[in-house]
């Protein structure tokens, strides 16, 4: 028989964090999150506490943990979309249908108690967190930004009455041939000249954020406004992002496009892959783990594509050609083998068409599920 235990004590919290680390310890494709970041979800001053209510649950069989799940009432998202939803996230479970059903019942009961009528996910507190269940690409190394899960998870979730709501796809992007590189550069130059655009020079990541942080978040809010799972940026979210980005982003992996008034109209960020660096230390920044992370940042083999935002009035101006040219430069850097796109909504055809200009192939798919509850 499965017992559901609400996470309340310090021991419960530790067990909640450590369960997936034990479960996937020998899995070569699993990449843990930063342990310190995960611990932060239980802090009283956690950045999302002002917009969210949460509940965390463990599933135990004969006193042994066999699964975990978290429920998030994201009030800002519900207000934005006029919905009554609870998100589920951090779902990890052995191949045990009884345990999965018990965990999802706990989330659904939480949702009903809060007056909600729908559960969806996996979605985190915002789209800055890991989201989507892996449904294709189980033999591919996960990125640091996204979650790995076993293949049977989808069947467990569907057995609980959940259906697909949206899918994201991910691709590996390699440098195109010389002819295509020339075409990309030519198109980028044309767009820059036609719309009086230019690329500023920043000496450091700090200088970039000092100059363009406000515009960056404004572009993200506008550019991502209607995308699935997004929420408005709070001051706390901005501060958290800035602190993290200053550590892991190199200025040469940043593209900012300015118009003739020196206003940013497009911004793009890439991250050095930290996947392999974090695997050995299970996401903990031990002295040895920190050294591996710093090496990965300084000389990356893989680049994870992060955030791209375009000002709405420039969306149909061919700005993606400039982004493509910037990515070419990144892929030509010494030691870089390829880029990972991370999540792109499957119906985001503008971004899908961009990757067609490169030597790219889709290798992963993720899914968000939804279930309408009955009172």
- Residues 6 or more apart whose CB falls under 8 angstroms from that of 355 comprise 171, 173, 341
pTM of the model: 0.92
pLDDT of residue 182: 95
Q: For residues 83-102, b (16+ Cβ closer than 10 Å) or e, as one string?
A: eebbbbbbbbbbebeebbbb
Burial of 219 (0-12, 13-18, 19+ CB in 10 A): buried
- 125: CB partners within 8 A, 6+ apart: 48, 51, 52, 72, 74, 89, 231
CA distance 83 to 116: 8
Q: What is the pLDDT of residue 60?
A: 97
Neighbours of 239 (CB within 10 A): 11
Averaged pLDDT, groups of 10, the chain, 375 residues long: 96 97 96 93 94 97 97 95 96 98 98 98 92 97 94 98 97 94 95 94 83 82 79 84 80 89 88 90 84 87 88 88 91 91 89 87 96 90
CA pair distance 309, 315, nearest whole angstrom: 9
In the numeric block, which tokens belong to residue 328? 């070419």
pLDDT of 297 reads 86
Nearest to 58 by CA among 13, 22, 5, 97: 5
And the tokens for 331?
């892929």
Q: Check residue 198 and report its DSSP letter.
A: B
CA-CA distance, 232 to 221, in Å (whole number)? 6
User: How many angstroms separate the CA atoms of 50 and 38, rounded?
Assistant: 18
Helix, coil or strand: residue 261: coil
- How many residues in the chain? 375
Any residues with CB less than 8 A from the CB of 254 and at least 6 apart, and which? Answer: 202, 205, 208, 267, 268, 269, 270
Cα(26)–Cα(282) distance, rounded to whole angstroms?
A: 11
Q: How far is CA 201 from CA 26, 254, 332, in A?
A: 44, 10, 19
31 CB neighbour count, 10 Å cutoff = 23
Strand pairing partners for 2?
A: 61
Q: What is the pLDDT of residue 127?
A: 85
């Amino acid at each position: 028989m499965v017992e559901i235990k609400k996470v309340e004590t310090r021991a419960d919290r530790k067990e909640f964090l450590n369960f997936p680390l034990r479960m996937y310890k020998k899995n070569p494709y699993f990449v843990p999150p930063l342990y310190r970041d995960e611990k932060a979800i239980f802090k009283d001053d956690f950045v999302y506490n002002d917009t969210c209510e949460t509940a965390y649950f463990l599933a135990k069989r004969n006193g042994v943990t066999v699964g975990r799940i978290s429920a998030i009432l994201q009030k800002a998202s519900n207000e934005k979309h006029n919905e009554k939803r609870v998100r589920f996230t951090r779902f990890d479970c052995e191949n045990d249908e009884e345990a999965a059903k018990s965990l999802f019942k706990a989330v659904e009961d939480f949702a009903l108690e809060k007056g909600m009528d729908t559960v969806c996910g996996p979605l985190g507190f915002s789209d800055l967190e890991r989201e989507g269940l892996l449904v294709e690409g189980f033999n591919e190394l996960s990125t640091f930004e996204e979650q790995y899960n076993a293949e049977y998870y989808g069947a467990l979730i569907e057995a609980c009455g959940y259906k697909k709501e949206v899918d994201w796809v991910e691709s590996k992007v390699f440098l195109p041939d010389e002819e295509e590189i020339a075409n990309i550069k030519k198109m980028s130059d044309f767009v820059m000249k036609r719309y009086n655009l230019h690329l500023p020079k920043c000496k450091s990541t700090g200088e970039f954020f000092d100059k363009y942080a406000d515009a960056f978040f404004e572009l993200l809010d506008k550019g991502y406004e209607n995308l699935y799972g997004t929420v408005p940026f709070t001051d706390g979210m901005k501060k958290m992002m800035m602190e993290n980005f200053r550590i892991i982003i190199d200025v040469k992996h940043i593209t900012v496009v300015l118009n003739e008034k020196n206003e940013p109209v497009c911004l793009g960020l890439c991250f050095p892959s930290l996947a392999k660096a974090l695997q050995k230390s299970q996401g903990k920044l031990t002295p040895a783990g920190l050294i591996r992370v710093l090496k990965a940042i300084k000389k990356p083999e893989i680049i994870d594509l992060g955030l791209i935002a375009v000002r709405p009035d420039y969306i149909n101006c061919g700005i993606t050609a400039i982004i493509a040219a910037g990515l070419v430069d990144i892929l030509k850097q010494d030691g870089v083998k390829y880029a990972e796109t991370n999540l792109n909504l499957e119906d985001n055809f503008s971004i899908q068409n961009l990757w067609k200009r490169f030597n790219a192939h889709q290798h992963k798919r993720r899914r968000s599920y939804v279930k309408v509850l009955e009172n």
